[in-house]
Structure formats: structure tokens, C-alpha cells
Amino acid sequence: MMMLAACLFTAAAVSCGGKKVEKAPKILVLYYSQTSNTKAVAEEIKNRLGADIEEVTAKVPYDGTFQETIERSAKEREEGAYPEIDSIKSDIASYDVIFLGYPIWFGTYAPPITTLLNRIDLNGKKVVPFCTFGSGGLESSVADLKAKFPEAEVLEGYGVRAARMDAAPNELDRFLKEKGFVEGEVEKLEAFSAPSEVSEEEAAIFDEAVKDYPMISAKAKEVSKRDLPNGVEYLFYAVNVPKAGGPQPPAKEMKVYVLVEKDKAPVFTQVVR
């Protein structure tokens, strides 16, 4: 196992030849994955930390089409009838840190995770959420976890778009080092600039980044940005706009993060609604 940064954990002290040695926390990676994206992130974390790992499985799998999955999940949410899952084998009480992974459905963790969280108690644990999504949902799912387990230490977590899975290993490396789970230095990122009105060039960057994603129909109003070692990151403040021939959407505001790396087209990394 890679050396953990003990300063971030409350570890039991044991005597060893008159010296006190910090006991490394026991870590479990617990996850649900439908399309294998979340599984890939879970296994990356497991391999980096040498942690134990277990997959949550639904007794009746979500193995239909995308539309069938959405319809089933929507019905379950409306009825409050969440799916049955197979019992997990891990003894949650014996772990100090739980990395909890899930895809984002309807703005929060997928229904099998809801069933799981109704069966286990994470209060008193350090909980590290990680998720995969189409556009976003990390922040809202973390808020739901904090509300569910108010006595747990829930970290802000890591999330990645399904369209950007190739970026996950490098992003996870930074995340795990920043949070003290593995040793190593990372370059501190500068803060975003103050928001300013979007220029024509910046509006074009925004439009290019979201044009192929059907769930976003929006116009950028303001933007903040910061330089990165490999490019520029933009934080756009945008509002919904109607699609041609479509219904008028509510005029909700959103934040859209867009990455422009050297010699690459703009790509959005997440949406916060």
C-alpha cells in the first residue's frame, strides 16, 4: 500500500519498542456501476491505495436501453420503491474510510446506492464520494450524503464525465495527493478570476464545448477563468435557452466548467445546476 498522509486521519496509536506508530486507516472502496465507468474509477482507486473493494449489485439489473433505465428509475423515485440489492459481504464497522462510488441519475446517486445507504451506517466514518455522470451531479449527491449521515466526515469527492474517462487516472492522482491519501506534491492551482461579461470569443468557446450534448441548451452570460499547466479552465455562468421548435425551459442558471487544453477542442467537464 502506498504511504498515507497520517495527518489527515485520526489513527490509533500503538506501542512499538517504546515508540508510538500511527496505524494506517483501513479503507474500503464500495461502489455501484451500471456501464462499467464507475467500476473503472473504483478499480483505479483500489489499485492506488491497496484498498479492499466490493461492488453493489441490483437483484434485478438495470440492463435495458437508456430510455428504459430512465423510465424505471423515474418510476422508482416517484413510488419511493428502491431496488433490492444483494447483501454486501464487507463489515462496514471495521473500516475507517469508505470510498463510495456511483453513477449520477436524476442529479444524485443511483437508486441501488439509496438502497445500500438505507441498510448501512456511515456516521463516524470518513466518506469519500466518487461518481461518473453525463453532465454533473457531484455537488448535489455530496449534499445528499451529508444530509443522510450528518455525523460522517463527507469529503467533497471526485467526479468525471463519462465522455472524459481517459482523463480520470491523472485527475485521480491529483485528487488523492491533494486529500493526503498518497504521498506526492501537486502544483497548486490559481483561483478563478472575478466574473466578467462574456466576449464573442469566449461565447464561441462555450458553444463549441456544449454543442454535442443534447441535455444542455444554454447561453453563457459571464465567465471566470484561470491558467492551468496544460491550458485554460473557464467557469461559465449560463442560463437555459429554448431549442428551436421545442418547449420553453425554465430560466434556470447554471455553472459550466470548460477545459481548453493546448491543441485540443474545448470540452466541458461538469455542470452545476
Q: Where are the domains of the chain?
A: 6-178, 196-272
The grid cell for 137 is: 451531479
Say which range, 7-16, 84-93, 192-201, has the weakest mean pLDDT.
Answer: 7-16
pLDDT of residue 10: 42
pLDDT of residue 11: 44
pLDDT surpassing 90 at residue 136: yes
pLDDT surpassing 50 at residue 121: yes
pLDDT surpassing 90 at residue 128: yes
Average pLDDT of the chain to the nearest whole number: 91
Instruction: Calculate mean pLDDT across residues 247-259.
Output: 80
Q: Look at domain 6-178 and name its CATH class.
A: alpha beta
Instruction: Calculate mean pLDDT across residues 165-192.
Output: 96
Global pTM value: 0.89
pLDDT of residue 21: 53
pLDDT surpassing 80 at residue 42: yes
Backbone dihedral angles phi then psi of residue 124, each to the nearest 5 degrees: 90, -5
pLDDT surpassing 80 at residue 244: no
pLDDT of residue 251: 60
Tell me how far apart the alpha carbons of residues 179 and 48 are, in angstroms, rounded to a whole number.
13
pLDDT surpassing 80 at residue 174: yes
